C-alpha cells in the first residue's frame, strides 16, 4: 500500500514547501493537505515537482452539503477547489458534509445526494474524484451529520458516478463503529482513499488498538490500489515518527 503524509499533522509550523522536501528525504513520495486557500500554489507545485512528491488530495472550501440553503455556496467552493486541484496535480478532493442541522435525517441525506449529483458532471469533466468523509462524533467532531460508513456508502452508491466516492478514515470509524475490515472490504468499490491513526489519541499507528499490519495486508490482498494517508499527530519528532511508520507498515 502506498503511504501519503498529511502535512498539517506533522508540520504545523513549517511551510508546505519545506515539509515536502523533508518527507522526500526519508522516502515518501505522496502527501496531502487540508485547506488550499492560503497557499502559494505555484511555489507549492514547484516544490512537489522538484522533490518528486505527488499531492494526492486537498479539501473543498465549504462543508455544508446537508442544508439545501447552502447548496450554491458548496458548489461554488467545489468549482474553485477543482481548479486548485488541477493546478496542483491532485486527483482527489475531500469534503465533509456539515453539522447535523436537526432536521429529519432523510431530508439532510437527500440534500447531500442532490449536491453530489450536481457535482458529478463537474468532476467528470475535470477528472477529479470527490470523496465524502464519515467522521466520529464521540471525540473529534461532535454534532457532525455523517458518522456511519454504511450511510456514506449508500449515498455514493445512489449517486452512481465513478468520480464520487468515500474516504474511509480507519481512526474515525474505529471510534464510531469498529468492524473495520468487513466495512472496507464489503464496499471496496466505493473507497477511493484511506486515512489512518492510532486510537485512542489519534496518534502513531503502532500505539493504538488496531493492528494496521493486518488491516493493510488484507486490504492489499483484496485488490485495493489506492493510498493511505497518515493523518495522525505524532507522539515523537515528526520525522522520527514517519520513519518508524515506514519501517513497520510500508
Mean pLDDT computed over 242-249: 98
Assess whether 133 carries a catalytic annotation: yes
Set 32, 54, 124, 133: catalytic member: 133
Write down the pTM of the prediction: 0.97
Q: What domains can you pick out in the chain, each with its CATH number?
A: 2-249 (3.20.20.150)
The pLDDT assigned to 27 comes to: 98
Set 177, 209, 225, 231: catalytic member: 231
For 214: left if phi > 0, alpha if psi spans -120 to 50, otherwise beta; the answer is: alpha
CA 90/CA 216 separation, integer angstroms: 23
> 91-140, pLDDT tens digit by residue?
999 999 999 999 999 999 999 999 999 999 999 999 999 999 999 999 99
pLDDT tier at 43, thresholds 50, 70, 90: very high
The pLDDT assigned to 46 comes to: 98
- CA dihedral of 182, 145, 193, 238, whole degrees rounded to 10: -110
Contact 3, 249 (CB under 8 A): yes
Which of 3, 2, 1, 13 minimizes the C-alpha distance to 238? 13
Look at the alpha carbons of 229, 231, 235, 236 in this order and tell me if their dihedral is positive or negative: positive
Q: Is residue 170 within a helix (H) or strand (E), and if so which, with residue range?
A: helix 170-176
Supply the Cα-derived Rg of the chain in whole angstroms: 17
Length of the chain: 250
Preceding omega of 200 cis (within 30 degrees of 0): yes
> 180-215, pLDDT tens digit by residue?
999 999 999 999 999 999 999 999 999 999 999 999
CA 11/CA 233 separation, integer angstroms: 10
The pLDDT assigned to 76 comes to: 98
Contact 146, 156 (CB under 8 A): no
Amino acid at each position: 500500500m502506498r503511504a501519503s503524509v498529511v502535512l498539517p499533522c506533522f508540520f504545523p509550523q513549517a511551510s508546505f514547501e519545506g515539509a515536502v522536501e523533508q518527507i522526500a528525504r526519508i522516502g515518501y513520495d505522496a502527501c496531502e493537505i487540508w485547506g488550499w486557500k492560503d497557499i502559494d500554489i505555484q511555489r507549492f507545485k514547484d516544490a512537489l515537482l522538484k522533490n518528486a512528491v505527488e499531492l494526492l488530495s486537498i479539501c473543498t472550501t465549504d462543508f455544508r452539503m446537508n442544508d439545501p440553503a447552502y447548496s450554491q455556496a458548496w458548489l461554488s467552493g467545489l468549482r474553485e477547489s477543482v481548479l486548485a486541484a488541477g493546478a496542483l496535480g491532485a486527483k482527489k478532493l475531500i469534503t465533509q458534509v456539515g453539522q447535523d442541522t436537526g432536521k429529519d435525517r432523510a431530508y439532510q441525506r437527500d440534500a447531500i445526494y442532490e449536491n453530489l449529483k450536481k457535482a458529478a458532471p463537474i468532476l467528470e469533466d475535470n477528472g477529479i474524484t470527490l470523496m465524502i468523509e464519515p467522521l466520529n462524533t464521540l471525540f473529534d467532531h461532535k454534532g457532525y451529520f455523517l458518522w456511519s460508513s454504511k450511510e456514506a456508502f449508500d449515498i455514493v452508491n445512489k449517486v452512481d458516478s465513478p468520480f464520487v466516492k468515500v474516504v474511509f478514515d480507519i481512526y474515525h470509524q474505529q471510534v464510531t463503529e469498529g468492524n473495520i475490515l468487513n466495512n472496507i472490504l464489503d464496499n471496496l468499490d466505493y473507497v477511493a482513499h484511506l486515512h489512518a491513526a492510532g486510537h485512542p489519541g489519534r496518534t502513531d499507528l503502532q500505539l493504538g488498538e488496531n493492528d494496521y499490519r493486518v488491516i493493510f495486508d488484507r486490504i492489499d490482498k483484496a485488490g485495493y490500489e489506492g493510498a493511505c494517508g497518515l493523518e495522525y499527530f505524532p507522539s515523537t519528532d515528526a520525522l522520527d515518527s514517519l520513519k518508524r511508520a515506514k519501517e513497520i507498515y510500508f
